[in-house]
Amino acid sequence: MSAIPKEIIRDRLKFAQLTLGDTVADFFASNVSESKKRNIVLMTIAGDGANAAVVTIQKKVEAGTYSDAIIVYNAAAGFLQVPPGSFDIESPVLVLEGGTNIGALCSAGAHEMTIVYWDE
């Protein structure tokens, strides 16, 4: 739970979108600034209508290496949300500390992924 009031967090909410392929791609052009913490509160993944896929969401550390953070299966015409159901802007699914980034890839097709986040 953050010490920042929900009203402030709501004003800070941002979105990032990425078309996933079979190689890992970063959501952000550069790593999170050392003075910040990026709180990812929601991830959505939409299928491409033709290919079911395993979607791997990875955290990238300062050294440039990736580690699997979340792995999910998405149907060809599927739409899934992490966390499932509702989400809370004060309870991040994944936290990126300064110097880190988030990347993702899918095993087939071109699934669309969107993240909702805020920086503190």
Taken in order 80, 100, 69, 103, the sign of the CA dihedral is positive
Structure confidence by residue, pLDDT tens digits, 67-120: 999 999 999 999 999 999 999 999 999 999 999 999 999 999 999 999 999 999
Residue from 76, 27, 71, 69 nearest 53 by CA: 76
The verdict on residue 55 lying in a domain is yes
Residue 3 has pLDDT above 80, yes or no: yes
Residue 16 has pLDDT above 90, yes or no: yes
Q: Which two tokens stand for residue 80?
A: 């899934």
Range of the domain at 20: 6-119
The verdict on residue 99 lying in a domain is yes
The verdict on residue 37 lying in a domain is yes
Rounded CA gap, 15 and 36, in Å? 17
pTM for this entry: 0.93
The verdict on residue 1 lying in a domain is no
For residue 46, give the CATH number of its domain: 2.60.120.340
User: What is the pLDDT averaged over residues 49-59?
Assistant: 97
Structural domain count, the chain: 1
